[in-house]
Structure 1
Amino acid sequence: MLGKAELLDAVAGVNRGINSSPSDRAAIQAAAATLEGRNPTPEPLQASDRLNGDWRLLYTTSRELLNIDRVPLASLGPIYQSICLAENRIYNIAEVNGPPLLSGLVAVAATLEPVSTQRVNVRFVRGVVGLRRALGYQSVAQFIEKMQTTPKFSLLQGLDFSINPERQSGWLEVTYLDDDLRIGRGNQGSLFVLQKV
């Protein structure tokens, strides 16, 4: 599709947005807006077969996510978002690369509340931070299953904490969705470009 290749090219060299210049950000915003104007799935929340599953973040303007890269002796690895509409759940998982045996993980779970055919309210309810090895992390799907079956990880595995959903909430709108690409906009003006895993 015209515009999709341009967007993928624009996001390819900016390391999820960490290395983006103002001109990069302007080009990405323009390419995203072009695609959003040709959205093949105008009611994405009705297209669960397309929306459900694991997505890898290609680009974002969210400083909260990109600031994970500022942890000393660490660099931000892949970031994933997993959507399960049947359970009204969303999971964000960021891999943090560090010295051998010290690679970490930051995961958050949230509930979804559809408010239109494009927008969901998101309420964050749980966070997990720890070393990947101690948490037994192998893959996104495996770890989400582990989060679903483990009410609370032990302190030896990592920090597992409740998040006050009244303080940590927002909304997310799916503005473009096809079989392998999703564009979203958040309540803080953030842009997200994700590719299906």
Structure 2
Amino acid sequence: MTSTTRKANLLNAIAPVNRGLQMSENQRKAIFLAVAYLEELNPTPAPTETPELLDGDWLLLFTTSQELLGIDRFPFYKLGNIYQCLRVAEGKIFNVAEIKGLPLLGGLVSVCANFTVVSEKRVKVNFERLVAGSQSLVGYQNVKSFIDTLRSPKKLLAIDFQIKREDQKGWLETTYLDRDLRIGRGNEGNLFVLRRI
């Protein structure tokens, strides 16, 4: 089976599960199997040594992270798109979750982190800043321009605070990477499948 076929199988398996929010046990098994098959054919065995492929804005297609999926459980709110934006030259990761609510209640939650390379597949992640608030109050148009806003030192009209924890043990390992698809696994056992936008 070619990598193109295996990739199509994975995308077909995750299409009906709404990023992992609505998933039966059989669907979960099929997704994990499709991920494992695709990881076997990883065309980029040393992702941290190919920053040109890692860098950019990635849309989350699937995850097992209950922390991310849990946002959908708040009353009156639905989880919109979730992005992970990597700025490799700066050693920065920006996670941005769009939240859809009642009219004028669209929100977002963003966590900013720095990372350091620890192996050819793994980076150590240190969370630095949390921003949560109304899309209109922070002037949110799209994820790309919002990352530029986050990179500036000004405080936003939102919940905006520094995360100061010395004991952070976060890491992210890229187990598959090509020009438009990335699979990652985190220190809490979470799986992430992302598509470049």
TM-score if structure 1 supplies the norm length? 0.96
Partner of 2:144: 141
Partner of 2:22: 19
**Residues 94 and 106, structure 1, Cα contact 8 Å, conserved in 2:** yes
Counterpart mapping for 1:100-111 below 5 A: 100-111=103-114
Partner of 2:184: 184
Counterpart mapping for 1:112-151 below 5 A: 112-151=115-154
Give the drift of 1:58: 0.2
Partner of 2:100: 97
| CA separation of 1:61 and 1:138: change in aligned 2, threshold 3 A | same
Note if 1:61 corresponds to 2:84. Answer: no
Sequence identity percentage: 52
CA RMSD of aligned residues (A): 0.9
Distance 2:96 2:191 in 1: 17
Unpaired stretches in structure 1, ≥5 consecutive residues:
none
Aligned residues: 194
Give the drift of 1:48: 1.2
Counterpart mapping for 1:47-86 below 5 A: 47-86=50-89
Distance 1:16 1:167 in 2: 30
Distance 2:134 2:153 in 1: 16
Distance 1:166 1:16 in 2: 31
Q: Which residue type is aligned with residue 58 of structure 2? A: W
Distance 1:114 1:196 in 2: 21
Structure 1 runs of 4+ aligned residues shifted over 3 Å read none
SS of equivalent to 2:114 = strand
Q: Which residue type is aligned with residue 118 of structure 1? A: K
